[in-house]
Amino acid sequence: MKERRVSGGNYVFFGGSTGIGHAAAVELGRRGANVLIVGRGRKAGEVAVEAVRASGGEAAFLAADLSTLKGVKAAAEGVVAWQPVLHGLMHTAMAGFKGKTLTADGLEFAFALQYMARAALNRALVEPLAASGDGRIVSISGNVPSSFMPDLDDLQFERRKWSFYKSILGTHLLGHLHVQEAARLWRDRPVTIAAACVGSTKTKVMADPLMPLSMKLLGLFGTTPEVSAVNAVRLLTQASPAAFDGVVLRNPKRFEPEPLAMNPDAARKLWAVTGDIAAKHGLSLV
């Protein structure tokens, strides 16, 4: 497939210190990209930076706690300070946790890190992405049955019974609603957004002691991060983004973009709820 010019472009990898994000960052580095790795652990981040540099790209690390909106705001500001014009963002950040956990903002942990942070960062950085003339957002996701869609009036499990899989899988569907609504609202901006689903992958987070045994086993027998990163890299590098806006790639073994066609009222409602949550914690989103 024909690729656009990546050399000299600015690409941000949230959660790119290890795993799928790391693999994708190295691939962009091979093409001569300027890469920013955003993550919590400086040691792992610096190792990732060296890997990108060794592949032929330029790279830097930004330390950030994406589980809080204060951290998300600081991360967005740090990204713009690094480069005010962006050509691509990729989201892979996740972490192990055991039992229902609340962040410092009082948000359920998986919701905060795997949905809220991604949606807020996309909205906070849409203008720097548009400034490049071809800004692209790729969110690593999962092909989750619609039965796991969370109650939009109970996103923090205040009434519903919490379970690990309800929590973690629901964030993927929320992310798909976000992709659909962002594509609709930003259709006049030169920014495209897509979700790339992956299967079980051998990553550091899947082996986290806080992960349930079932997740550890899935990781143990999963594919490599490099294989799981293939479709995301294609979305970031394809010559024309026209067919890749508001889509999901459900099968990680094939490059088959499928336009999202979820409940539009739910997508609009989630967009508004997301903005309200961010505003309560000092972050104004477009």
Instruction: Determine contact, residues 173/269, Cβ cutoff 8 Å.
Output: no
254-273 pLDDT tens trace: 999 999 999 999 999 999 99
Instruction: Determine contact, residues 208/168, Cβ cutoff 8 Å.
Output: no
Asked whether residue 114 is domain-assigned, the answer is: yes
Q: Which of 224, 247, 221 is nearest to 234 (CA)?
A: 247
Asked whether residue 188 is domain-assigned, the answer is: yes
Supply the DSSP symbol for 106: S
Average pLDDT, integer, range 29-35:
99
Q: Which two tokens stand for residue 192?
A: 């495209």
CATH code of the domain containing 128: 3.40.50.720
Range of the domain at 115: 10-280
Average pLDDT, integer, range 239-266:
96
Average pLDDT, integer, range 48-73:
98
64-99 pLDDT tens trace: 999 999 999 999 999 999 999 999 999 998 776 778
pTM: 0.94
Asked whether residue 4 is domain-assigned, the answer is: no
163-212 pLDDT tens trace: 988 999 999 999 999 999 999 999 999 999 999 999 888 776 656 666 66
pLDDT at 218: 64
C-alpha count within 13 angstroms, C-beta hemisphere, residue 203: 27
Supply the DSSP symbol for 157: -
Give the SS3 label for residue 96.
coil
pLDDT at 200: 82
Asked whether residue 285 is domain-assigned, the answer is: no
Give the SS3 label for residue 13.
strand
In Å, the largest CA–CA distance within the chain is 51
pLDDT at 137: 99
Asked whether residue 197 is domain-assigned, the answer is: yes
Give the SS3 label for residue 18.
coil
Give the SS3 label for residue 249.
strand
Domain count, the chain: 1
The span from the CA of 146 to the CA of 151, in Å, is 12
Q: Which two tokens stand for residue 25?
A: 């960052």
Q: Which of 75, 29, 67, 72 is nearest to 48 (CA)?
A: 29
Asked whether residue 250 is domain-assigned, the answer is: yes
Alpha helices in the chain (DSSP H): 19-30, 42-55, 69-82, 109-110, 117-124, 126-130, 164-185, 213-220, 225-228, 230-237, 264-280
pLDDT at 143: 96
Average pLDDT, integer, range 60-67:
98
198-215 pLDDT tens trace: 988 877 665 666 666 666
Asked whether residue 91 is domain-assigned, the answer is: yes
Count CB neighbours of 30 within 10 A.
Answer: 15
Asked whether residue 144 is domain-assigned, the answer is: yes
- Assess whether pLDDT exceeds 80 at residue 34: yes
